[in-house]
Amino acid sequence: MTQLAEYEKVEVNPELEEKAEKEKARRGLFTALPAYVYLIAFFAIPLVLVFVFSFASRSRTGTPVLADWNLESWARLFDPLVAGLAWRSLWLAVVNTLLCLLIGYPFAYWIATRQRSSTRNLLLVLVLIPFWSNFLVRTYAWRTLLDVDGFVTQFGEATGLWGQLLFTLPAVFIGLLYGYLPFMVLPLFAAIERIDWNLVEAARDLYASGSDAFRRVTLPLSRPGIVAGSILVFIPSLGAYVTPDILGGPNTTLIGEYIVTQFGAARNWPFGAAVSSAILIVMLIATIYYFRSGGRTL
Amino acid sequence: MSVSEGTASTGVVDKLLTINGWAVYLFLYVPILIVMIFSFSDHPNVGIWGGFTLDWYDRMLGNDQLMRALRNSVIVAIVSTIVSTILGTAAAIALERYRRWLGKRPFDALLYLPVIIPDVTMAVMLLIWFAQLDFRFGLTTILLSHIAFNISFVAIVVRARLANMDESLEEAAADLYAGRWQTFRKVTLPLIWPGVVGGALLALTLSLDDVVITSLVQGPGATTLPVYVFGLIRRSVTPEINAVSTVMLVASMVLVFMSLGFQRRAETRE
C-alpha cells in the first residue's frame, strides 16, 4: 500500500512537470527572441507608423508634420483619379491572376502527368530557371521585343495584327503575365503531383466521364495549389512597380507606381501612407479569408 | 474498359496539353534568349543584329559605377543572407519545436506578414521609419531592409523541413545525455540542413533581385546592381544593358543548378 503510493509519487510530480514546462517555454521565447526583436523593430513599428502618417499633415514645403491630425489623405482616396487608378490596378491584378491560372494549370498538369520522372524533373527545372531569374532583367527582355525594332512589333506590323505595343496597357499585361506565370506554375505542380491518381481511376470506374472526373476529383484535390499560386501572383501584381514603369506609359500608371511618386516628386507622404494603408487592409482581408477557408501554408 | 473508353478523348486532350506546354516554354525562353544573343551584337540599337562583338562586355567591365553597384549588391546579399538565415532558422525552431511560449501566436503572424504584403508597401514603411529615426540612407539602410524581408522567407522554408522531421530523434539524443547544444549541432542541424541551405539560397536570390525596396531606402552613391540597371533602362536602352542582363541571368542559372545539385546530394544521403 505504502509502496504503491510512493511509486505513484515518483511517476507524477506536478511540480517538476510544471517546472520543466516553464523552462521549455522560456527557451522557446529565447530562441525566437533575435528574430522577434528584429521584426518588431523593422517591420511591426514601421507598419504602425504608416497608419499614423496617413493621418498626419504637411508643411508648406511638403515635409510631413506629425501634428494637426486629419482625415484629408483618406478622403482623397475617393478622388476620381485615385479611385480610377486603384480600380485599374485591382482589375489588372485579377485578370492577370486568372490568365496565369488559365495557362498555368494545363501547363502544370501536363508536367505533373508525364510518365517518366526524369522527363518531369527536366521540365520542372526549365520552369525553375525563369522563376529564380532576375525579375527586372526578364521585364527588360520584353522592352526590347516590344520596341520599334523589336521582333514582336515587326511581326505585328508585317501581319497587320498590331503596331507598337510598348508603353500601352497590353504591354503591361504581357509583362505581368510573363513575370508571374512561374509563381503560379510551381505551387500548382506541387499540388497536382501529390494527387493520388487511384482516386481519379476510381471515379472513371464508377462511370464518371473524363471531364466529370477532372471537375469533381482532380480539380478539388489541386485546390491548395490554386489558392497558393493565386496569392503569389495576385499580391505582387497589385503592387506592381517595375513592370508598368518599364513597359507602360503615362496612361497606364498603376497604384504601386503612384505610391512611390508620392514619396518622390509629389512629396506627399501622408497621402502615400494612406494609399499604402488601404492596400495593406485589402491584403489582410484577403489573407484572413484564405486562412479561414482552410488554407495552411503559402 | 474505362481506359479504352477514355483513350480517344484523352489523346486529343493530351495533344492540346503538349502544344500548350511547348508554347509556354517558348513564351518563357524566347525573350531571355534574345536578350542574351543581342548582348553580342555589334550595333548600338538593341533590335538590330550587326555582327558578333564582345564590346558591350568590355564596356560593362569598364563602367566604374556599375562595378561599384555590383560590389554593393554582393556585400548586401551575402551579409543579409547570413544574418537572416541564422535568425530565420532560430525562429523556425522556436515555432516548430516549442509548443507554448509567451507571444508565440503574434510572432507566427508577424513572421508571415512580410511575405504577403507587396514590396511597395514594405518599401514605404521602411522609408518612413528610417527617415523618422534620422538614419543616413545608404548601404546600412539597404542591408537592414533586406534582412527584414528575408527572415520570413528563410523561416518558412526551414519550418517546412522541420515539420516533416521526426522529433523522436532529438528526444533520443537527449535521452542519451546529449546537451541541448550538442543535440542541435549533431542531430537537428544536419537533418534540417537542406532546408537551411534552401532558405539561404532563396534569401540570396531575393536580395539580388530586389528593386522596389532598395530604390526607396538607398542613399546617394550607395545603390545595388538591379537598382542601377533599373535607372539605366529608364533613361535609354543600350546593348550594354543586355550584357549586364546576360551576366545576371547566367548567375541565377548557376544558383538554380547549385541548389538542385545540393538537394539531390541531400536526398541520396537520406
pLDDT score recorded for residue B5: 39
Kindly write down the DSSP assignment for every residue of chain B, as one continuous string: -HHHHHHHHHHHHHHHHHHHHHHHHHHHHHHHHHHHHHTTBSSSSTTS---B--HHHHHHHH-HHHHHHHHHHHHHHHHHHHHHHHHHHHHHHHHHH-S--TTHHHHHHHHHHHHHS-HHHHHHHHHHHHHHHTPPPSHHHHHHHHHHHHHHHHHHHHHHHHHTS-THHHHHHHHTT--HHHHIIIIIHHHHHHHHHHHHHHHHHHHHH--HHHHHH-BTTB--HHHHHHHHHHH---HHHHHHHHHHHHHHHHHHHHHHHHHHHHHHH-
Contacts of B123 in chain A (CB under 8 A): 260
Beta bridge pairs of residue B41: B52
Q: Which residues of A touch B229 (CB under 8 A)?
A: 136-137, 140
What's the rounded Cα separation, in Å, for the pair B87 and B151? 6
Partner residue facing A28 (CB), from B6, B98, B255: B98
Contact (CB<8Å) A35/B21: no
Q: With an 8 Å Cβ cutoff, are A259 and B2 in contact? A: no
What dihedral angle (degrees, nearest 10) is formed by the CA atoms of A278, A284, A287, A288? -130
Task: List Cβ<8 Å contacts ≥24 apart for B59-68.
Answer: B59/B240, B59/B243, B60/B240, B60/B243, B60/B244, B60/B247, B63/B240, B65/B228, B66/B225, B66/B228, B66/B244
Average pLDDT (A134-158) is: 89
CA distance A258 to A174: 20
- pLDDT score of A294: 57
Asked if A244 contacts A256 with a C-beta cutoff of 8 angstroms, the reply is yes
Q: Give me the tens of pLDDT residue by residue for chain B, a chain 270 residues long.
A: 334 334 445 788 889 999 999 999 999 999 999 999 999 999 888 878 888 999 999 999 999 999 999 999 999 999 999 999 999 999 999 999 888 898 999 999 999 899 889 999 999 999 999 999 999 999 999 999 999 999 999 999 999 888 878 788 888 888 888 888 888 888 889 889 988 998 999 999 999 999 999 999 998 878 999 999 999 998 888 899 999 999 999 998 888 888 888 878 877 766
Question: What is the rounded distance in angstroms from the CA atom of residue B128 to the CA atom of residue A49?
Answer: 7
Nearest to residue B208, comparing CAs of B159, B240, B254?
B254
CB contact under 8 A, B20 and A110: yes
pLDDT at position B7:
45
Q: What pLDDT shows up at residue A19?
A: 86
Q: What is the pLDDT of residues A21-37, one digit of tens each?
A: 888 888 999 999 999 99
Lowest mean pLDDT among A62-66, A222-226, B30-34, B197-201: A62-66
Percent of chain B whose pLDDT exceeds 90: 61
Q: CB distance from A99 to chain B under 8 Å?
A: no
pLDDT of residue A158: 86
Chain A CB contacts of B248 under 8 Å are 133-134, 137
Q: Which of B163, B90, B76 is nearest to A35 (CA)?
A: B90
Q: Which of A38, A40, A129 sits opposite B147 (nearest CB)?
A: A38
Identify the bridge partners of residue A64 per DSSP, sorted by sequence position: A58
The pLDDT, as a whole number, for residue A298 is 45
Residue of A nearest to B249 (CA): A133
CB contact residues (below 8 A), chain A span 29-68, against chain B: 29, 31-32, 34-36, 38-40, 42-47, 49-50, 53
Give the C-alpha distances (Å, rounded to integers) separating A172 from A11, A142, A253, B30. Answer: 69, 10, 10, 18
Residue A45's pLDDT band, with cuts at 50, 70 and 90, is very high
Give the whole-angstrom CA distance, residue B174 versus residue B151: 29
Instruction: Check B120 against A260: CB less than 8 A apart.
Output: yes
- Cell 555582327, located at residue: B51
pTM over 0.80: yes
pLDDT above 70 (res A104): yes
Q: How much is the average pLDDT of A89-116? A: 94
Give the integer Cα–Cα distance in Å for B230 and A294. Answer: 40
Q: How many residues does chain B have?
A: 270
From first CA to last CA, the distance across chain A in angstroms is: 57
**Across chain A, what does the average pLDDT equal?**
88
> Are A47 and B230 an interchain contact pair (Cβ–Cβ within 8 Å)?
no
Q: Which residue has the higher pLDDT, A108 or B261?
A: A108
Provide the β-strand partners of residue A65.
A57
Asked whether A229 and A184 are in contact (CB, 8 A), the reply is yes
By percentage, how much of chain A surpasses pLDDT 90?
52
Q: What is the value of ipTM here, to two decimals?
A: 0.90
Tens of pLDDT along B43-80? 888 878 888 999 999 999 999 999 999 999 999 999 99
Long-range CB contacts (within 8 A, 24+) of B260-268: B260/A125, B260/A128, B262/B194, B262/B197, B263/B194, B263/B198, B266/B193, B266/B194
Q: What is the pLDDT at residue A1?
A: 47
Confidence of residue A178 (pLDDT cuts 50, 70, 90): very high
Taking contacts as CB-CB distances below 8 angstroms, the residues of chain B near A58 are: none
Nearest to A125 among B10, B16, B260 (CB): B260
Q: How far apart are CA A178 and CA A131, in angstroms?
A: 10
Which candidate, A5, A29, A238, places its Cα nearest to that of B102? Answer: A29
Q: Span A98-127, mean pLDDT?
A: 93
- Nearest by CB to residue B209, choosing from A123, A135, A231, is A135
